[in-house]
A and B are shown apart, each in its own frame.
Chain A
Amino acid sequence: MSRKLLLTHNDVPGIQSYEVYRQQGGYASVEKALKTMAPDAVTEEVKKSGLRGRGGAGFPTGMKWSFLAKPPGVARYLVCNADESEPGTFKDRYLMERIPHLLVEGMITASYALGANTSFIYIRGEYFYVSRILEKAIEEAYAAGWLGRNILGTDYSLDLYVQVGAGAYICGEETALLESLEGKRGNPRIKPPFPAVAGLYGCPTVVNNVETIAAVVPIVMQGGDEYAKIGVGKSTGTKLISASGHINKPGVYEIEMGVPVEEFIYSEKYCGGIRNGKKLKAVVAGGSSVPILPADLILKTAKGEPRLMTYESMADGGFATGTMLGSGGFIVMDEDTSIVKNLWNFSRFYHHESCGQCSPCREGTGWMEKILHKILDGHGTLEDIDLLWDIQSKIEGKTICPLGDAAAWPVASAIRHFRAEFEEYVKNPKGIKDVKHYYRIHKLQEA
């Protein structure tokens, strides 16, 4: 289970440059697609591959492409979502930084399949140095004739642009991204209409994650059926996992779908075990927005089977016992980790990043953060834990975009699995800032 499809040439010196990338067989998928395949045939291969969106939601990519409306005389767009901002997720940055031409190649092939003559890579503002790497790669691709008018002498033309965002997490939500790309405030749009019908400038648009678009290259080269043979069940192919936290070897790993979580954490090939020989306490498996799971549930499902790095296995048992593979931001926490502190950190992030359009998210994220801060300071009560639970339930599923869910799920899972720790913060004043206040509100005698 060590096959690499995206990071194959990762270790080749100078792979960032066009010449080296081309020597390694780069841009062959463009050649194959444009010269030997009809656009619909490329889409068909992607459908056969079973590739699921690597941005977090895991929606089948081929199906998403087939939803694209194709009214005659109307422009179509492909937009690459490189606004990677989920805490714990840094795999797209790695891919773009190390092998920028892979993304450019994927963009050309995917744009051809979708009939898009103008495509965009929307990258987060903080990745300014990556955007320069991409711009250079695009320049080289133009110079070599892979972009521009009549690519490879065919009647297909494509212009590719890099658009740098201003650094807002919400712009990673596909409709907010489109708003931002149009030069407006990055607020999510209300769906329907979906971007496949009315997206960028009101035209049919497909928005895909960096990793998803890069995966189109091996799919076209080896065929969808071959790609589908990798992985387990409906989780096909390989997946980039950005592993961080209390592990010996943090970094970006390309795994074949279906690696057991236990192997991923403890094997020398991947994370290399928990730092300093400590015990595993919890894992956030797919970026900070997915439910956090305690050690026993992340290693095994509720049925006692080994949990695998697949969409289905991660979600096994729903949120009561499962989580999501999400964007692949794998954050490992050892036994010394404070769940409440970590949760406050996550909540602080979502509060800060809420766009403020809809009331549950705008008001609720801030409220949750303040309660968590109060509990951390030792001023919390047991009622505050119940209140926190109630607030998250009133945000989840009630907001315009999934940011509300992303803020609510970590809170719900932390209380569900680690309630005792919250209660400990409430009952034990150790380490709190204002001890006198603590004793006063709890009507206790100071020791």
Chain B
Amino acid sequence: MAKVTIDGKTIEVPDGTTILNAARMIGGNVVPPAMCYYSHLKTSGGYCRTCLVKVTKGSEKDPRPMPKPVASCRTTVMDGMEVQNMTAPDLQEARAGVVEFLLINHPLDCPICDQAGECHLQDLGYEHGKARTRYEFKRRTFPMTDIGKYIKLHVNRCILCYRCVKVADQLCPGRVHGVMYRGDVAEISTYIKNAVEHEMCGNMIDVCPVGALTDMTFRFKNRVWFTKPVDAHRSCDKCCGKVRLWYKGEEVLRVTARKDQWGEVQTFDGKPGWICNSCRFEHKLTSDWVIEGPSHIDRHSVISANHYELKEGHKKTDKPRKNLEGKRIQLGEGALDPNNK
């Protein structure tokens, strides 16, 4: 076990834990943002540089500070390590710089982007960005492409976080998808104009932190904050079958994996809850699913604005409640079953 102090808060964590995960164990605002790290994807992280932190004391054995900011998602803690995140003004300045770099080629088209409301870059830009950009040159642009029948690729929005590449590498054998070219003309693409057809490729959409990879069955159907997330499951021989259904009225607009407060897929029975294309794209009827109840949204998100989950400590009542429009709603299993009157 190693004792680490982040922004003055001390925690003991198992050896080999990264600074980011130690911060997540503490919680609150000591947690650095992470655009490219994804705990369920091996070797992810370290690319976007948003999670940079200052190590002011290396360890008890070697108390020297680290000379440069380090990527907290790829740096493991040492016993006695002291880290600054929110308490270092120069680090906040550096992070703002990273956000500025990320936004250079990312169009702020949130009003028409399907990821709006779930976009990590939107949150980051809001927290660290400035009202105007200092970049005055032409942005890079790419035509939109359909990579397979389910996924729309819009490289203009891509921030090259490599998460989808890791999905392709680790979940989709026989991959055709990756990064082409280098520098600021590098782009996520398929080689050459291939379709991404693997049964688990839909997870690329879930891991994309921005709107570069979008669900073609959901595009422009609705804003995410107008939809209602509900946890559901079905028996599936390809994946865990545990999903989140996004309802508009009684219609399932999309199906995604269930995500935790860090925006990553939840773990079930010790395994990441990736879902297959069949569950994601082909089962959009309530009758296909066993409804578990409203989703618990931990992450600070506009989705919480349309949330009907019972607060902790409240007893579930059998009496139907009324929503703002005076319509009766029933929570719990079968609540959204069209046969449940």
Once the chains bind, are A370 and B98 in contact (CB under 8 Å)? no
- Among A332-383, those with CB < 8 Å from B are 351-360, 362-367, 370
Residues in A with CB closer than 8 Å to B184 are 351, 354, 356, 362-363, 365-366
In this complex, the member of A185, A190, A397, A400 whose beta carbon has the largest number of chain B beta carbons within 10 angstroms is: A190
- B residues in contact with A357, CB < 8 Å: 47, 160, 162
* CB atoms of B98 and A394 under 8 A apart: yes
- For window 136-186 of B, CB contacts with A under 8 Å fall at 137, 159-160, 162, 179, 181-186
B312 to nearest A CB, angstroms? 38
A192 vs B77: C-alpha distance when bound (angstroms): 12
- Does any Cβ of B come within 8 Å of A435's Cβ? no
Instruction: Identify A359's interface contact among B68, B159, B182, B185, CB under 8 A.
Output: B159
A366 and B185 CA atoms in complex are apart in Å by: 10
Bound-complex Cα distance A358 to B101 (A): 10
CB distance from A84 to the nearest CB of B (A): 19
Q: Which residue of A170, A190, A364 is within 8 Å of B74 (Cβ)?
A: A190
How many pairs, one residue from A and one from B, have CB atoms within 8 Å of each other in the complex?
87
Which residues of A (155-177) have their CB < 8 Å from a CB of B? 168, 170
A351-B183, A366-B183 known; A400-B101 Cβ under 8 A: no
Min CB–CB distance A211 → chain B (angstroms): 26
CA distance A40 to B104 in the complex (A): 52
Tell me the smallest distance from the CB of A385 to a CB of chain B, in Å: 13
User: In the complex the two chains form, what is the Cα distance from A366 to B186 in whole Å?
Assistant: 12
0/1 interface trace, chain A 11-41, chain B, CB 8 Å (1 if under): 0000000000000000000000000000000
**Interface flag for A398 (CB, 8 Å):** yes
Taking CB atoms, residues of chain A closer than 8 Å to B102 are: 359, 363
Q: Is the CB of B48 within 8 A of A354?
A: no
Complex Cα distance, B75 from A192, in Å, reads: 8
- In the complex, the answer to whether A356 meets B179 with C-beta atoms within 8 Å is yes
A190-B74, A367-B135, A398-B69 as given contacts; A356 in contact with B101, CB under 8 Å: no
Which of A170, A357, A387 has its CB near the most chain B CB atoms (within 10 A)?
A357
If the complex has contacts A168-B182, A354-B182, are A363 and B137 also in contact, measured as CB distance less than 8 A?
no
Q: Are B46 and A353 in contact (CB under 8 A)?
A: no
Chain B residues, CB < 8 A from A387? 134
Quick one: which of B70-112 are within 8 Å of A by CB?
Answer: 71, 74, 76, 94, 97-98, 100-102, 104-105
User: Are A359 and B47 closer than 8 Å at their CB atoms?
Assistant: yes
B47 touching A363, Cβ below 8 Å: no
Docked complex Cα distance between A352 and B184 (Å): 8
Chain B residues with CB under 8 A of A354: 182-184
Q: Which of B46, B100, B104 contacts A358 (CB 8 A)?
A: B46
What are the interface flags for B22-51 relative to A under an 8 Å C-beta threshold, 1 for contact and 0 otherwise? 000000000000000000000001111100
- Within the complex, the shortest CB–CB distance from A376 to chain B, in Å, comes to 14
- In the complex formed, the residue of B with least CB distance to A399 is B49
B52 in contact (CB, < 8 A): yes
CB-based contact B186/A359 at 8 Å: no
Contact-residue bracket for chain B: 20 to 34
- CB pair B94 A398 closer than 8 Å: yes
Q: Is B46 within 8 A of A400, CB to CB?
A: yes
In whole Å, how far is B187's beta carbon from the nearest beta carbon of chain A? 9
Residues 269-307 of chain A: 1 if any B CB is under 8 Å from the residue's CB, otherwise 0?
000000000000000000000000000000000000000
Given contacts A364-B101, A397-B68, contact A358 B48 (CB under 8 A): yes
User: In the complex, what residues of A have CB within 8 A of residue B100's CB?
Assistant: 394
Q: How distant is B46 from chain A, measured CB to nearest CB, in Å?
A: 4
Partner of A356, one of B45, B97, B183: B183
The docked-state distance in angstroms from the alpha carbon of A367 to that of B181 is 18
User: Is B183 touching A359 in the complex (CB atoms < 8 A)?
Assistant: no
Which residue from A352, A365, A367, A398 sits with its C-beta under 8 Å from B52? A398
- In the bound complex, residues from chain B placing their C-beta under 8 Å from that of A363 are 101-102, 104-105, 184
Q: How far is the CA of A353 from the CA of B184 in the complex (A)?
A: 10
Could you tell me if B183 and A355 are in contact, using CB atoms closer than 8 angstroms?
yes
CA separation between A165 and B160, bound complex, in Å? 24
Whether B179 contacts A359 by the Cβ 8 Å rule is no
Q: Is the CB of B104 within 8 A of A367?
A: yes
Q: Do B49 and A398 touch (CB < 8 A)? A: yes
Q: Are B49 and A356 in contact (CB-based, < 8 A)?
A: no
A387–B104 Cα distance when bound, in Å, is 14
Contacts of B76 in A (CB 8 A): 192
A 186-222 to B, binary, CB cutoff 8 A, 1 in contact else 0: 0000101000000000000000000000000000000
Q: Say whether A362 contacts B160, CB under 8 Å.
A: yes
Chain B residues, CB < 8 A from A353:
182-183
* A362 surroundings in chain B (CB, below 8 A): 101, 160, 183-184, 186
17 sampled A-B residue pairs with Cβ under 8 A: A170-B182, A190-B71, A354-B184, A356-B181, A356-B183, A357-B47, A358-B49, A360-B101, A362-B101, A362-B183, A366-B183, A366-B184, A387-B134, A394-B97, A397-B69, A398-B97, A400-B71
Residues of A within 8 A of B (CB): 168, 170, 185, 190, 192, 351-360, 362-367, 370, 387, 393-394, 397-400
Residue ranges of B at the interface with A (Cβ–Cβ < 8 Å): 45-49, 52, 67-69, 71, 74, 76, 94, 97-98, 100-102, 104-105, 134-135, 137, 159-160, 162, 179, 181-186
